[in-house]
Copies of this chain bind each other. A is one copy, B any other.
């Protein structure tokens, strides 16, 4: 027992008992102390090491608690068998920070113009919200706080013709999260349909939740309702305001046709992802499907494009029937959106900052779109632009698109291939490029134009 040679570090932030605990635990793990060996008494160890009995007592207590020693009444402390891996000491596994590829101009579809983000207003409102009401630190309403839901309901009503009360609005941290909730609500035994081509991550969510998915082809008006009818799907996910990725705006007739498909059977639902509807460049965007039939349509949208993707606030409008189920089953969940952000956004909408911001960025985006179209149309090759009537990306078809895109990539310009968004294996034509214009500058677009003329002329 008097082999214990421990160098205490008195100036360490670690208390002495902790240092003693660590020393003995290491001795036991490294088999310097054998199983069932009796430990020195607290008094004798304290005398040996020149520390207080209390310190030894605390260290022994922890060693018992952690399973290194067992205490036998009126006898003392004995070393326990410690299994490999079952130890208080753990190793932090270090790892390299992953590197991201970067481009001079990345025309991805999910970026926003960071320069026009209303920093000073956002910071001002955040501070107001934070200091005004400390109770915002505690948990809020499951659906999101009422003020925000009310402002969203008004905003949706005015801008998109959505028919709803704040009660039907569920605020959540992103479309994916809301879709996960919705899938739980809609229950098992469903068959989901998605647009083909479409959003990979939406299909993923259905699949990750164990559902089969039907892929419905598009024609020039968007999702084919005939094909939908032929599939066995009862729930269809669509992006009617600016189909992703083709940019088709579903016309009124097709919408009516789709709604009548939903009306033909009780369990049928349409999930309307109204993303990019705020960036319609025609005089007046078509009203949301939800406004045409609020019992068959579940409306989804997000502030990712309107404000910033990293501000995780999306919302869903539930039909009354699903709302009742939601209130029954989800009432003890917690909201996924920080309350400070909720109230900041709520004021941002109520005090008209949002509509002003939208007008501002819409002008910026319209200019970029026009410049991008000009860049493609003047490149010397025979091109066809589509999906340009709404934001924030457009498509450009041209022959040799694949090699053009490859040549651009080598010059630091990243465009995307429409074929990558198809779910079914089919002949890849590689003739259509996708270019998002929200995250690039007019200079980037000019650089694209110049480079395009050089590589495709």
Contact = CB atoms under 8 A, between A and B. Distances in A.
A227 to B, nearest CB: 22
B92 A117 contact: no
Given A17-B283, A85-B292, A310 B163 contact: no
Contact of A334 (B135, B139, B174): B174
Contacts of A412: none
Interface string A138-182: 111000001000100110010001111111000001101100100
Contacts of A312: 173, 334-338
Contact of A127 (B18, B123, B293): B123
A37 interface: no
A427 to B, nearest CB: 24
A66 B252 contact: yes
**Tally of this chain's copies:** 2
Given A201-B333, A251-B65, A259-B86, A138 B111 contact: yes
Contact of A209 (B95, B112, B184): B184
A322 interface: no
Given A115-B134, A154-B92, A173 B337 contact: yes
Given A66-B286, A283-B17, A439-B138, A161 B88 contact: yes
A332 B162 contact: no
B337 A284 contact: no
A332 B256 contact: no
Contact of A89 (B137, B138, B161): B161
Given A61-B283, A310-B136, A310-B138, A90 B163 contact: yes
A112 B135 CA distance: 10
A18 B285 CA distance: 12
- Interface range on chain A (Cβ under 8 Å from partner): 35 or more
A341 interface: yes
A380 interface: no
A2 interface: no
Contacts of A291: 87-88, 90
Contact of A114 (B93, B138, B283): B138
A188 interface: yes
B138 A130 contact: no
Contacts of A204: 329-330, 332-333
A210 interface: yes
A140 B111 CA distance: 11
A180 B117 CA distance: 32
A279 B240 CA distance: 50
A361 to B, nearest CB: 12
6 contacts: A90-B157, A93-B163, A126-B126, A173-B336, A180-B180, A310-B338
